[in-house]
Amino acid sequence: MNANRIWVALGVALTLAVPAALVTRHERLLASGKPVLLALRPVDPRSLMQGDYMALDYDVTQAVTRTVNAEPAPLGLLRQGETLYAFLAVDAQGVGRVVRIGTAPSMARPGELALRLRWQQSSPIWFMRWAGGNAVLPSHSYFFAEGEGGYYAKARYAIWRVGDDGDALLEALADEHGRRMDGVAAPAGSG
């Protein structure tokens, strides 16, 4: 086997290994992460260009954004893409509420759940430290089958799985009682 074939084989192996590792990591988080309900803020669930989906906005991110924008340094001067953590208290129904914010998951106190967020700058000059921006979670939209917009418009929570390091994945949407919404059930006998 010549050197070119070895490099090609190595490139193909890496191309397949990296996404496989990410999928495995995400599957592990979905299986073992702590579930938490995050209250949704109402947003229009329809896009003519993308089909039926729900744009997601959360009470948690709004609370963090208000707090950071009102604080002096260091949190009040975050740069684009910087990481911060919302420390959540999770009530008996599984709903998470922000109790404080910080810069590392290790700052979590007993009974708190660390949730990793990214800072999105409002300033057009992204490299400058500028007070103003938004805290964001990784998932901003939830896609579903065409015609189910009315069903998902009733969603009041998003179910997230959160790891010990603050990583989080959106698992599903939930109704006002915290029950998972898995789509419109097919009529009986439809086959």
3-class SS letters over 117-147: EEEEECCCCCCCCCCCEEEECCCCEEECCCC
How do residues 6-52 score in pLDDT, each as one tens digit?
A: 888 888 888 887 887 777 776 787 788 898 999 998 666 566 566 67
How do residues 113-156 score in pLDDT, each as one tens digit?
A: 999 999 887 655 555 544 568 899 988 888 888 788 888 888 99
Structural domain total, the chain? 2
Same domain, yes or no: 111 and 170: yes
Residue 191 in domain: no
How do residues 74-94 score in pLDDT, each as one tens digit?
A: 665 677 888 999 999 999 999
Domain span at residue 120 reads 33-181
Q: Which of 75, 55, 74, 54 minimizes the C-alpha distance to 66?
A: 75
Same domain, yes or no: 86 and 177: yes
Is it the case that residue 190 has pLDDT exceeding 50?
A: no
Residue 43 in domain: yes
Residue 187 in domain: no
Same domain, yes or no: 23 and 41: no
Is it the case that residue 187 has pLDDT exceeding 50?
A: no
Residue 138 in domain: yes
Same domain, yes or no: 28 and 105: no
pTM: 0.77
Same domain, yes or no: 5 and 24: yes
